[in-house]
Amino acid sequence: MDKFSILNQYFGYTAFRPGQESLIDAVLDGKDVFGIMPTGGGKSMCYQIPALLLPGVTFVVSPLISLMMDQVMALKAAGIPAAYINSTLSAPQMQAVYRNLLRGQYKIVYVAPERLDYGGFSSVAARLNISFIAVDEAHCISQWGQDFRPSYLRILNFIAGLPKRPVVGAFTATATKQVREDVERILALQSPVRAMTGFDRANLYFEVLHPESKDTQLLQMVASRRNKSGIIYCSTRKNVERVCESLLDHGYCATRYHAGLSEQERHQNQRSFLYDEKKIMVATNAFGMGIDKSNVSYVIHYNMPKSIEAYYQEAGRAGRDGMNAECILFFSGSDVATARFLINNASDNEELTPTQKDTIHRQELARLESMIGYCKTDQCLRGYILEYFGQKHPEICGNCSTCKGGYDEKDITREAQMILSCIQRIYHKLGRWCDISLVARVLQGFPDSRVREGQLDQLSTYGLMKTTGRSTIRAIADQLEQEGYLRTDEQSKAVSLTPLASQVLYQGKDVTMLIRKEPNTEQDVENTMSDADADLYDLLNDVRSQLARKSAIPPDVVLTNPTLVEMAKRKPKNTSEFRRLPGIGELKTQWYAQAFLKVIRRFRKEQES
């Protein structure tokens, strides 16, 4: 067997992606490697294929239990002998895995970093022929990264304790220079062969919205994406609860995930999302790293995340299967306050020294600024992200809201003055600051109960912006907050003026704002199918669901969406045509061909008659 036949026989692909081949060759050559590729770039293949070709066993260090369980499940579905070692195994299960290991029954074993210095594990490891150690999500070893995990530091000791040093490989999607250097240094990679592929994910569409009401906007968005899987990220547990509830109230099939839920419920909810039983996952950033679900077709950020790294990682969970997918961020000025609050009140990591903590804190605030910049930029959004990661890019990508819609710069000094002055007048009338929706009501001359109770209809600013939509008023207020004239209180949502506001109110300072032209959104690879192919796709999709249920694995582990699309288009007549579909290997042909071919045959007949 060589690497090509493994790629084809087990995974059903005919060509390597950028970076894969050079890393695989290097490992087979006995050299250390360092692979830096974006999420969905195909890093797993870079250690799974060598694992099958090398003698003995390959260990994969992976930070999350759910991640390793998913990967082992997918490997088994492709007919590869694999196992994992982590705290979910009972003592007898663990013994069984150790026994099989010593008998040489596995080619790939995933290990949690915490396990590496357990006595039992080390003594088993010392008796094995370990050819290769792959460190997945290797950025976890760096405290400059997003997900520093001190347990990753144990890897080095573990390697040092082995009778013979195996080839070591590191893999990550984090490209910042500092993290890269840390990974190489701490893991003590020996003149590694590096592959750093571009970070662009051309199939992802990026958009930033400043919705008047995030809830209304969200309901509109999920309504037009009903049959697709999506993740909605919120910055707080409270928002997760609220948003999820609202979706359920409106009849959507949603579930939730955050650190406040019991482990059992988190597991259950994640599972029902992976298995497509629930289409929408509403979650905090606790949901994510290692979510290998390939068919997520949109990721909506209900709140702005704290950094571009976090954003790209979370948004990047869309479209892993290579199909077109959307990454949409809802921005409001108060997100900035929330993000600052979260950064300033992050739980203490006791393993860090005060100086380290201080450095990390300062870096986080700097990262936040770049994130805010993304929400405000008039550049190509993809360009902004790639630039942040230090990658060259064309000026116009053609697949983000800027490039598709574009902005106009507008002078909003007058509107800004009206809003600021209205806020001030309400404050004087009521003796306290109020929220932005009340301000908008007053400006629009909308006599609702709060307006009447406070006699706010007597203010001179009442009805001053009668013809302006509420979303515009909010968008301008967001802009004013970003420029430091306003501040939204994290708890009460009350909007107050800052000392800077007087520059606009009394000193004629200009305010401008970029107004987005109507973007052209909806786009869908499935739409490139003819109607007939789409009908067949639906039938094949049902077959896939049945097969998934029968074998108790997620549908996209049975076959991915791109495979299903190709199948609907090509309509294979026999097993050898079936085998040639992308993503179909030997075992999947054996297991699944008949079920699909039967439906395709029936479909053809009906088409002909």
What is the spatial distance between Cα 446 and Cα 249, in angstroms, rounded to a whole number? 28
Q: 294 is in the binding site of which of Mg ion, ligand ADP, none (Cβ under 5 to 8 A by kind)?
A: ligand ADP
Q: Which of 4, 8, 9, 17 binds ligand ADP (CB under 6 A)?
A: 17
Q: Does 37 interact with ligand ADP (rule: CB under 6 A)?
A: yes
From the list ligand ADP, Mg ion, none, pick the one residue 596 interacts with, judged by a Cβ distance below 5 to 8 Å according to partner type.
none
Q: Which is nearer to ligand ADP, 42 or 288 (CB)?
A: 42
Choices 40-48, 413-421, 435-443, 594-602 (CB under 6 A): range interacting with ligand ADP: 40-48
Is 42 a binding residue for ligand ADP by CB under 6 A? The answer is yes
The reply to whether 50 sits near ligand ADP by the rule CB under 6 A is no
Nearer CB in complex with Mg ion: 98/312: 312
In angstroms, what is the minimal distance from the CB of 269 to Mg ion? Answer: 22
One residue of 34, 36, 43, 317 binding ligand ADP per CB under 6 A: 43
Binding footprint of ligand ADP, residue count (CB under 6 A): 17
C-alpha span between 337 and 482 (Å, rounded): 10
Tokens of 288: 């994510």
Of 43 and 393, the one with the shorter C-beta distance to Mg ion is 43
Q: Which is nearer to ligand ADP, 18 or 484 (CB)?
A: 18
CA 423 to chain centre: 38
Q: What is residue 114's DSSP assignment?
A: G
CA pair distance 320, 313, nearest whole angstrom: 12
Per CB under 5 A, which region of 43-51, 272-280, 371-379, 387-395 contacts Mg ion? 43-51
Report in angstroms how near the CB of residue 71 gets to ligand ADP at its nearest.
Answer: 8
E-state strands within 239-346: 254-257, 280-283, 296-301, 325-330
Calculate helix-pair angle for 354-376, 308-315, nearest 10 degrees: 60
* Contact call for residues 125 and 89 (beta carbons, < 8 A): no
Site string for ligand ADP, 57-96 (x = CB under 6 A): ----------------------------------------
Q: Which entry of ligand ADP, Mg ion, none binds 48, CB below 5 to 8 A by partner kind?
A: none
Whose Cβ is closer to Mg ion: residue 19's or residue 333's?
Answer: 19
Is the separation of the CB atoms in 226 and 276 below 8 Å?
Answer: no
Give the nearer residue to ligand ADP in terms of CB position, either 292 or 314.
292
Q: Which stretch in 13-21, 112-120, 436-444, 528-536 sits in contact with ligand ADP by CB under 6 A? A: 13-21
Is 39 near ligand ADP (CB under 6 A)? yes
Scanning 37-45, 88-96, 428-436, 513-521 for contacts with ligand ADP by CB under 6 A, the matching segment is 37-45
352-391 exposure pattern, b = at least 16 Cβ within 10 A, e = fewer: eeeeeeeebeeebeebbebbbebbbbebbbbbbbbbbbee
Q: What is the DSSP string of 159-191?
A: HHHSSSPPEEEEEES---HHHHHHHHHHTT--S
Q: Does 320 bind ligand ADP (CB under 6 A)?
A: yes
> How far apart, in Å, are the Cα atoms of 219 and each of 227, 299, 300, 340, 478?
14, 14, 12, 27, 21
40 binds, among Mg ion, ligand ADP, none (CB under 5 to 8 A by kind): ligand ADP
Residue 494's CB is within 10 A of a number of other CB atoms, namely: 16
Question: Using CB distances below 5 to 8 A depending on partner kind, what does residue 118 bind out of ligand ADP, Mg ion, none?
Answer: none
- To 5 degrees, how large is the angle CA 30–CA 36–CA 41? 105
Interaction partner, residue 17 (Mg ion, ligand ADP, none; CB < 5-8 Å by kind)? ligand ADP
Options 6, 27, 33, 40; binder of ligand ADP; rule CB under 6 A: 40
x/- mask, ligand ADP, residues 540-569, rule CB under 6 A, reads: --------------------x---------
* Pairing mode, strands 108-111 and 82-85: parallel
Tokens standing for 447? 């006599």
DSSP-assigned beta bridge partners for residue 486 = 497
Of 38-46, 124-132, 161-169, 428-436, which segment contacts ligand ADP by CB under 6 A? 38-46
Nearer to ligand ADP, 285 or 560 (CB): 560
What is the rounded distance in angstroms from the CA atom of residue 43 to the CA atom of residue 21? 11
Which conformational region is residue 284 in: left (phi greater than 0), alpha (psi within -120 to 50 degrees), or beta? beta
How many residues bind to Mg ion according to rule CB under 5 A?
1
| Residue given tokens 């390939």 in the structure block | 294
The two tokens of residue 546 are: 């049945």
Give the end-to-end CA distance of the chain in Å, rounded to a whole number: 46
Q: Which secondary-structure segment (H or E) carries 411?
A: strand 407-411
Query: Applying CB under 6 A, which part among 35-43, 107-115, 125-133, 388-396 lies near ligand ADP?
Result: 35-43
Site for ligand ADP contains 4 (CB under 6 A): no
Rounded to whole angstroms, the Cα distance separating 407 from 552 reads: 48
* 556: partner contacted, choices Mg ion, ligand ADP, none (Cβ within 5-8 A by kind): none
Chain positions 288 to 307 lying near ligand ADP, rule: CB under 6 A, are 292, 294
**CB under 5 to 8 A by kind: which of Mg ion, ligand ADP, none does 309 bind?**
none
**Matching residue, tokens 């196992």:** 83
The radius of gyration of the chain's CA atoms, rounded to the nearest angstrom, is 27
CB of 42 to ligand ADP, least distance (A): 3
- Measure the CA–CA gap between 225 and 485, rounded to whole angstroms: 37
Q: Which residues bind ligand ADP (CB under 6 A)?
A: 13, 16-17, 20, 37, 39-45, 292, 294, 320-321, 560
Which residues of this protein are in contact with Mg ion, per CB under 5 A? Answer: 43
